[in-house]
Amino acid sequence: MILHCVFLRFKSALQSSDKQALYEEVAALKSVVPGMLEVKYGPNVSPEGLNGGFRDGFVVTFENADARDAYLVHPEHVAVGERIVASTDGGLAGLLIFDLEA
């Protein structure tokens, strides 16, 4: 399995409802991307204060690396990704993506 971890620095003007809509768009990709197993999302709840300004995020669990790779180029993911980048502070600089084998 692959855990695809995406950490976000959303623009300060972005409303909670807008964040929720973006997360729901990511979760909806499960119905069109084979091997996409689970999506969890929400705000950072760590008390450590070491988030580097990344206050929100989501984790997608994939069956394997092939499923993750298909997701990365899937047109619907690309469209959602563009909306996410447009919602972050600094565009791509407002994202941190880290994948783990589980």
Domain ranges of the chain: 2-101
State the residue for tokens 């783990």: 100
Q: What fold does the segment set 2-101 form as a domain?
A: Alpha-Beta Plaits (3.30.70)
Number of Cα atoms under 13 Å in the Cβ half of residue 82:
6
pTM: 0.93
How buried is 84 (Cβ within 10 angstroms: 0-12 exposed, 13-18 middle, 19+ buried)?
buried
- b/e 70-79 (16+ beta carbons within 10 angstroms → b): ebeebeebee
Cα 31 → chain centroid = 16
The β-bridge partners of 94 are none
Per-residue pLDDT of the chain (102 residues; tens, 9 = 90+): 999 999 999 999 999 999 999 999 999 999 999 999 999 999 999 999 999 999 999 999 999 999 999 999 999 999 999 999 999 999 999 999 999 998
